[in-house]
Copies of this chain bind each other. A is one copy, B any other.
């Protein structure tokens, strides 16, 4: 990876309206492969979550109405988990799912991820997360989410490079 590429590999995070987080990130891989990495339970453990966490896929039924749950095993032996339900899965374009962290049970956001084919072998992933309240949105932003997400997406870059090498 060159320095120029590195510099573009930071997500753009904005706050449209009072209950949303909007994230854009470009990946150097074709849309089908990026979509596959988001939806393959075998690949999730290789990239999901910041460095120092080992994600375990407990449940991942990638279809409308299916549930998902990932338990994150931290280096210090502690765990935390995320779960939700798939509302829509439209390969390779769109996933709508709920998202709930076990640290704030019953606080449920809706994440819409759109996968845009940039036509040059790259893919833009646009994620919009809708919360019930402004407080929940701002709590998520204040939790260190952005740093964790950038690390997660860097791990995803690395996985996509490995998969390209294997192809």
Residues of A near any B CB (own CB < 8 A): 64-65, 84-88, 96-98, 100, 102, 105-108, 110, 130, 132-133
Contact = CB atoms under 8 A, between A and B. Distances in A.
A53 to B, nearest CB: 21
Which of A88, A102, A108, A110 has most B Cβ within 10 Å?
A108
Given A87-B107, A107-B87, A108-B108, A102 B132 contact: no
Contacts of A100: 85
19 contacts: A64-B106, A65-B102, A65-B106, A85-B106, A86-B105, A86-B106, A87-B105, A87-B106, A87-B107, A88-B106, A96-B106, A97-B106, A98-B108, A108-B108, A108-B110, A110-B132, A130-B132, A130-B133, A132-B132
Contact of A106 (B84, B106, B132, B133): B84
Nearest to A86: B106
A66 to B, nearest CB: 8
Contacts of A108: 98, 108, 110
Nearest to A98: B106
Nearest to A88: B106
List the number of copies, as a whole number. 2
Nearest to A107: B87
A85 B105 contact: yes
A109 to B, nearest CB: 9
A40 to B, nearest CB: 20
A125 B58 CA distance: 38
